[in-house]
Amino acid sequence: MSTSSKMQGEIKTIEVTGRRNPPNWAVRQRQLIDLMNRAAVTFAERSTRPDGTLLWRTRWTSMDGTDNGYESFLSYPLFYLLGGGEHVHDLARKEWNAITWQFEQFGTVDREFAVGYDWFHHSESYTYIYYLALADPQHFMDRARALRYADMYIGEDPLAPNWDADHRMLRSPLNGSHGPRTVTTPEDWSYHRPILCDYLSPYEDIPGVDSTDPFVKVDWTDDAMFAQVLNLINERMTRGDVPLNLSATSLVTNAYLYTGEEKYKNWVLDYIRVWMERRDQNGGIVPDNIGPSGQIGELMNGKWWGGYYGWRWPHGARNIVEPACVEGGCAMLLTGDDSYLDLCRSQLDLLWSLRKEEDEVVKVPARHGDQGWFDYRCPDPLYYIHLYCLSQSAQDLARLDEVFPEREGFQNLNPRWYMGKAGVCPPTAWFAFIEGRNPGYPDQMIESTYAGICEKLDRLENDDTDPEKRECYHFHALNPVVPEGLVQMTTGSPAAIYNGGLLHAPVRYFDPETRRTGLPEHVAALVEEVSRDSVSLILVNTDVVASRAVLIQSGTFGEHEFTTARLEGLDSDSVQINGRHVAVRLGPSAQAHLHLGLKRHVHRPSYEFPPFG
């Protein structure tokens, strides 16, 4: 092996030569990329019409479902970011436009944005456009949409008066291009009535319902009962602000990443501050319902619980913690200040303080209702991992160590993780690898990803269902493009939080030859270690004949800076980088084990591509 370095424009280039047998993970990683490139075409051909519209129902009335249309192809732009083919990028854009048009015909989308639904579902839809922005920040229509969408939430679109500037709040949990949706109809809930029978009742004080049972359920399919529930929802839940709306900050951050305009940044920061104020006003607990005049519990007889997607219904604590983590990540990205993660931290700490032991297992409450805290469960490592990966702080590592001291079960990757929405992959096995506790992770992830592609292709080939009878989530189990495991391997990130999170990663790759995002053809990557001030990764050129060049960026949005670069296995000193990018030129079958020094959050984050020279 030999190496040299030189300046190419303002970017330092490291050259590595010497053929070596590529490791198995590198060969298999490239095989997975090639396989998904082909499978992406098969799925699009079998699940859509020639114009890109989904082979699905011709009539849709419920306010739910739009998100599922976008989720069907959400993985395409994400896969392209890693190095998927240009045809995948083309398909991703075609499907975004076709699905948007399709739901405009259903009436659930207007002006290219959902007319009025909640941010649990909006966030499942619009992560798609954040990936498209990373794929091509110069796409004018994407940029124009991003600014129009943000205007709907910061008070600059008169047709969508979602923002109440006087009370610094969003006016309803149900919002969108038509503004706040303060009254829902039976038709809005028609699709989900049977499904909601399996969830807890939204309230414990419904006449005829056992108010002493916190786990009480009601029959949504019973018309009389449904009428009572709908009336209470419209009285108590559809006016005012809820923590779920914090996920709207990713949409506004999206506009900032295009423009750098301070008004977007200021709105994001102000909105998290007002929720911190509400938490402090409520004794450290984030209230789940804010009334029309900005008061906690205004429509709930003074109770801080019982709101839409709140502490009780339908998912409980997750819908408080997760939006706070999404918003905290946005605010930290914009400022470099990890104190904005305190909103999320405080709620995790609150739940941990309420822990109790059941059968020698420590559990925390997942819900709060009229009977107090209940529904105790094992803590979810997801948010603890995300917090630590965002901040790389000693306090977040200590928090993780306290709740998960032995990392029990972290090494065990669910063998069918890929069957979740858009192939969401839990980060525990990856995190154990990053910590040096799970050396078999790369092979483990590659094997399970391959199995997922095969299983989904089998399902796709055997799908003979009637399009008019397909459920709204029909295509989730059929899409064979499942790149999240590769995101973890190549970028050193747990991947984005599915409901609205941005992709916060310490490194990102570009192909300087084709001037596009993603790993160049034949190049494989594996991030081995990540710390506050460094990242270590391996690059492998699997091509035995030709050299390959790859450009590494510090941070998904160029927000960090590389200080030094050192190649393992050589006596040479570290190379001074002091910039956002470093180029590596790999000779035929060459490998580079790089240790990169890192300074975090020293540049304004942006979608801009690097200067390719």
pTM over 0.85: yes
pLDDT in tens, 523-562: 999 999 999 999 999 999 999 999 999 999 999 999 999 9
Stated as kind and residue range, the H or E segment containing 239 is none
| Domains parsed from the chain with CATH numbers | 2-22+506-599 (2.60.40.1180), 185-237 (no CATH)
Strands (E), 87-190: 109-110, 113-114, 163-164, 169-170
277-300 tens-digit pLDDT: 999 999 999 999 999 999 999 999
Of the candidates 71, 263, 72, 63, the one whose C-alpha atom is nearest the C-alpha of residue 176 is: 63
| Vertex 609: Cα angle to 606 and 610 (nearest 5) | 110
Q: Which among 176, 298, 291 is positioned nearest to 242, based on CA atoms?
A: 291
The one-letter code for the residue type at 116 is G
Whole-angstrom Cα distance, residue 479 to residue 42?
Answer: 9
Percentage of the chain exceeding pLDDT 90: 94
Kindly report the average pLDDT of the chain as a whole number.
96
Residue 464, number of CB atoms within 10 A of its CB: 5
Give the pLDDT mean for 571-589.
Answer: 93
**Residues near 484 by beta carbon (within 8 Å), at least 6 away in sequence:** 75, 78, 422, 423, 424, 425, 495
Peptide bond into 314 cis (omega under 30): yes
Nearest alpha carbon to residue 171 among 152, 148, 146: 152
End-to-end CA distance of the chain: 27
CA Rg value for the chain = 24
In angstroms, rounded to a whole number, what is the distance separating the alpha carbons of residues 162 and 388?
Answer: 33
Helix (H, G, I), strand (E, B) or coil at 236: helix
Q: Is the pLDDT of residue 1 over 80?
A: no
**Helix axes 119-135 and 86-106, enclosed angle (nearest 10):** 150
572 pLDDT above the threshold of 80? no
H-helix or E-strand containing 378? none
Tens-digit pLDDT profile for residues 21-77: 999 999 999 999 999 999 999 999 999 999 999 999 998 878 888 999 999 999 999
CB 282 within 8 A of CB 296: yes
pLDDT band of 7, cuts 50, 70, 90: very low
- How far apart are alpha carbons 302 and 291 in whole angstroms? 10
The identity of residue 23, as a single letter, is P
pLDDT per residue over 365-420, tens digit each? Answer: 999 999 999 999 999 999 999 999 999 999 999 999 999 999 999 999 999 999 98
